[in-house]
Amino acid sequence: MDINFNKNEDHNKLLLSDLKQRLAKVKLGGGEKRIAKLHGEGKMTARERIEYLLDKGAKSIEIGAFVGDGMYKEHGGCPSGGVVIKIGYVNGKQCVVVANDATVKAGAWFPITAKKNLRAQEIAMENRLPIIYLVDSAGVYLPMQDEIFPDKEHFGRIFRNNAIMSSMGITQIAAVMGSCVAGGAYLPIMSDEALIVDKTGSIFLAGSYLVKAAIGETIDNETLGGATTHCEISGVTDYKAKDDKDALDTIRNIVGKIGDYNKAGFNRIKAEKPALDENEIFGILPKARTEQYDMMEIIKRLVDNSELDEYKAGYGQSIITAYARIDGWAVGIVANQRKIVKTTGAKTKPSEMQFGGVIYSDSADKATRFIANCNQKKIPLVFVHDVTGFMVGSKSEHGGIIKDGAKMVNAVANSVVPKFTVIVGNSYGAGNYAMCGKAYDPRLIFAWPSAELAVMGGAQAAKVLLQIEESAMRSRGEEITPEKEAELFNKIKSRYDEQVSPYYSASRLWTDAIIDPLDTRKWISMGIEAADHAPIEKQFNLGVIQV
């Protein structure tokens, strides 16, 4: 191995170490004192509940661990958005599990909490997975009620989704393991079956204090909406559990009796590990986002036996298109080639060099055809991002780059097979869209710690913003010295670099997770398994495109 490999390896493993440290902090939720308080009340934490519920030793993935990271500082923060979401196995059945974290503002709902819950429901609906809600929430966080209450993608959308999922035949089970108040009380009752934990669970539209203020009635919360009330008097809940573990055991028993599902029929054979060492990914992926490397070497360390069948290998080489298998599942891979390549395409001169990470007209054309082929063959698509955007300049514009790019975007948008997006490096501008960014409905979208998401790279953006700032300063008659220019550039770049960080994206749920690169196969495999629950009901149709 050369010195660059070792430098890259050191850099990427430091990024991974930082990821693990951040995850450890996030998993503490509202902090150790609040966890201890919860235990003192005889309750488990959200993460402990999920761990107990899921099959021991089985795979699982967490959605949105970094949601809320760095947000709502003036309100004390909101780790993981105050809710923990995992896809895992309950009695052998793949399920989505959603658990309110009562250590974060008593499980109150921030705006990002609603967005994260809606994402969990979206995953359940797209893949027709059973969804389990472990409810322990004080309801809407009132200081921010105007940002969570009335709009289409706000709190009320969750109950709308409850109704839609019920009509779709998607199993929904709710366990009330703490507070469940006001509008939030509808969630468990709109589920198929509801459990409540005795003495710690409660459900009511208005608590005892509000009842006293509204109608003058004096009553305690347990009598108003506790387990005995709702299991023996109102009939609102279906099962009374003596404690958290009893409730979770009951859920496992219910899920264990759910019948089989109609499969989409994606192709799978016996899984094989990559023949090449997966750990070498850390040395191949360069430290600097501007450096060139061979994306094929990354792909070979992700696919079974390190084998793939490349489609149109000699054409449009700035994008790799290939059939392969990941954990036994057949996949179609669309990946940005990051090394400089020679091309002899019709729209280029013989032996012309193409920059790595840029999408050219011939590459977009190739990707469009490949996406159509995968849709015809019912093969899930995996997009691997390290893209700086589409090629610019007069030659590209005259050659119709906008038209060819539009074809690729059209194919991605209209694709009916499940799509999965892995951001390993850059994901800039329209390249993000063409490579199935969040706006194009990937079933799962996740990033490596090396990822960057933005309209353009930090240095380029800072130069553009600097020009605008300098122009404004000159119009005010201000002098711009080289020192002032450097100070402005560094200030702008620092602010922009913070926004292109994968953690900035993950906190806003633009990606579902930041993961260890060595977990990529697990995420894709579990994602395709989830997608296999939902037979494809639409035909692939590109609609009207300019030839």
What string of DSSP letters covers 389-434?
A: EE--SHHHHHTTHHHHHHHHHHHHHH--S-EEEEEEEEEEHHHHHH
pLDDT of residue 374: 98
Q: Tell me: do 24 and 38 sit in the same domain.
A: no
Position 166 in a domain: yes
Q: Tell me: do 5 and 142 sit in the same domain.
A: no
Q: Tell me: do 386 and 275 sit in the same domain.
A: yes
Using alpha carbons only, give the angle 52, 55, 60 rounded to the nearest 5 degrees. 95
Position 411 in a domain: yes
Position 220 in a domain: yes
Residue in the structure block whose two tokens are 């050659």: 399
Residue in the structure block whose two tokens are 């194919």: 411
- Number of Cβ within 10 Å of residue 12's Cβ equals 21
Q: Tell me: do 273 and 345 sit in the same domain.
A: yes
- Biggest CA–CA distance in the chain, Å, is 86
Q: Tell me: do 520 and 470 sit in the same domain.
A: no
Q: Tell me: do 404 and 438 sit in the same domain.
A: yes
Residue 391: phi and psi, rounded to 5, are: -65, 135
Q: Tell me: do 157 and 244 sit in the same domain.
A: yes
Which residues face 202 on adjacent strands?
Answer: 179
Q: Tell me: do 321 and 346 sit in the same domain.
A: yes
What is the tally of structural domains in the chain?
A: 3
Q: Tell me: do 40 and 23 sit in the same domain.
A: no
Position 307 in a domain: yes
Report the Cα–Cα distance between both ends of the chain, in Å, rounded: 47
CATH of the domain at 432: 3.90.226.10
Position 505 in a domain: no
pLDDT of residue 396: 67
Query: What's the rounded Cα separation, in Å, for the pair 197 and 237?
Result: 10
Query: What's the rounded Cα separation, in Å, for the pair 261 and 241?
Result: 29
Q: Tell me: do 73 and 104 sit in the same domain.
A: yes
Position 506 in a domain: no
Q: What is the pLDDT along the chain (547 residues), one digit of tens a residue?
A: 589 999 999 999 999 999 999 999 999 999 999 999 999 999 999 999 999 999 999 999 999 999 999 999 999 999 999 999 999 999 999 999 999 999 999 888 899 999 999 999 999 999 999 999 999 988 888 788 888 888 888 888 999 999 999 999 999 999 999 988 876 777 888 999 999 999 999 998 877 878 888 898 888 888 888 999 999 999 999 999 999 999 999 999 999 999 999 999 999 999 999 999 999 999 999 999 889 999 999 999 999 999 999 999 999 999 999 999 999 999 999 999 998 876 665 555 544 666 678 899 999 999 999 999 999 999 999 999 999 888 766 776 656 677 888 899 999 999 999 999 999 999 998 899 999 999 999 999 999 999 999 876 666 666 777 778 778 878 888 888 888 778 777 877 777 778 889 999 999 999 999 999 999 999 999 999 999 999 999 999 887 665 5
Position 45 in a domain: yes
Position 546 in a domain: no
- End residue of a domain, out of 198, 230, 256: 256
Q: Tell me: do 248 and 209 sit in the same domain.
A: yes
Can you give the residue range of the structural domain that contains 492? Answer: 456-500
Phi-psi region of 491 (alpha: psi -120 to 50; beta: other; left: phi over 0): alpha
Q: Tell me: do 403 and 484 sit in the same domain.
A: no
